[in-house]
Amino acid sequence: MADTEPVLIIGAGMAGLACARTLQGAGVPFLLFDANEKVGGRVRTDEVDGYRLDRGFQVLLTAYPEARKFLDYEALDLKACYPGSRVWSGDRFHRVADPFRHPIDGIKSLGNPIGSLFDKIRVGMMRMGLLSTRSMPDDLSTLDALSKLGFGPAMIDRFWKPFMRGVFLENELSTTVRKFEETFRLFAQGGTVLPRLGIGELPKQLAGKLPQ
């Protein structure tokens, strides 16, 4: 390939845009193609009757290394989600809080029926790195890994399954333990946020730095 021939990038989703930014930074010519008028792929925000509606479940984990590399967090005006969950137990919602960021709420969470006291201690030990899945086989499922860590059925069914289903987009927690390990670390090390104007600001910001 001659030096003047551009690299062809098919798709202006987040991966395609990041590829374009990388090539731009290296001084490599490129052409970016997409079937849609707007960039972002599935990472989109629609404006309907004055409201901004993100497509699907969308959040940004600030600890993502690639996100920190490509995005200007300050310019996105990020708004943080509460570091915890509200879990329905059949009669009412119960809060499960991150005790490292909200100690008082974390203490209150100890008495709720979402798992046993020891289950919650195990989550804290995982958060501190005192309980780990690193010695487990790489191909072990998340569900089996949680059982091996000692979590009881109530904690798995009421907390881990609903939470990780939303992340992995599969119901059986068959995703490998290594992916779970990485995901848990990202949630623990950073914030869960959204840009003030919607998730569509991520691809918009990346595209704004590219030549027309």
Say what the pLDDT of residue 212 is: 79
- Token pair listed for 191: 């914030």
Predicted structure pTM score: 0.86
- According to the model, what pLDDT value does residue 3 have? 64
Contact 195, 76 (CB under 8 A): yes
Strands 78-80 and 192-195, by their bridges, are: antiparallel
pLDDT reported for residue 162: 93
Separation between Cα atoms, residue 13 and residue 40, nearest integer Å: 4
For residue 177, pLDDT over 80 is answered with: yes
What's the CA gap between 196 and 178, in Å, rounded? Answer: 32
Q: What is the pLDDT of residue 33?
A: 96
For 64-123, write each residue's pLDDT tens digit.
999 999 999 999 999 999 999 999 988 899 999 999 999 999 999 999 999 999 999 999
Asked if 83 contacts 102 with a C-beta cutoff of 8 angstroms, the reply is: yes
pLDDT for position 90: 84
Averaged pLDDT of the chain: 94
Q: Of 129, 133, 127, 162, which Cα lies nearest the Cα of 146?
A: 133
The CATH class, in words, for 7-80+193-208 is alpha beta
Domain ranges of the chain: 7-80+193-208, 84-190
d(CA 80, CA 82): 7
CA distance linking residue 190 with residue 171, whole number of Å:
25
Residue 2 has pLDDT above 70, yes or no: no
The tens digit of pLDDT for each residue in 29-39 reads 999 999 998 99
